[in-house]
Amino acid sequence: MYGMRAIFCNIKFKMFVKFASIIGVTMLKEERFQIILDQLGHEQKVYLGHLSTLLNVSEDTVRRDIKELADQGLLKSVRGGAVPHSPGPHHFRDRMTYDNEQKLIIAKKALQFLKNGQVVIFDGGTSALLIAQMLPKDLELTVITNSFPIASILEEHEHVEVLFAGGRLLKNSFVTIGNDAMQFFKKFRADICLLGICSIHADLGVTGPDFEESEVKRTIIESSKEVIALATTEKLGTAEAYYVCPTDRLATIITDQPDDNEEFKIYKDMGIRMV
Distance, CA of 88 to CA of 125 (rounded, Å)? 13
Give me the pLDDT at residue 4, please. 45
pLDDT reading at 41 higher than 90: no
Give me the pLDDT at residue 125, please. 86
Are residues 139 and 12 part of one domain? no
Are residues 263 and 238 part of one domain? yes
Task: Give the predicted TM-score (pTM) of the model.
Answer: 0.76
Are residues 118 and 64 part of one domain? no
Q: How far is CA 255 from CA 58, 107, 200, 202, in A?
A: 39, 9, 12, 15
Rounded to an integer, the average pLDDT of 180-201 is 95
When pLDDT is cut at 50, 70 and 90, the band that residue 93 belongs to is low
pLDDT reading at 17 higher than 60: no
Are residues 144 and 21 part of one domain? no
Domain at 265, CATH number: 3.40.50.1360
Are residues 50 and 141 part of one domain? no
Query: In the chain, what is the straight-line distance between the N-terminal and C-terminal CA atoms, in Å?
Result: 33
Which range of residues forms the domain containing residue 59? 2-83
Give me the pLDDT at residue 27, please. 72
Please state, rounded to an integer, the average pLDDT across all residues of the chain. Answer: 86
When pLDDT is cut at 50, 70 and 90, the band that residue 99 belongs to is low
Judge whether 180 and 187 are in contact, CB under 8 Å. Answer: no
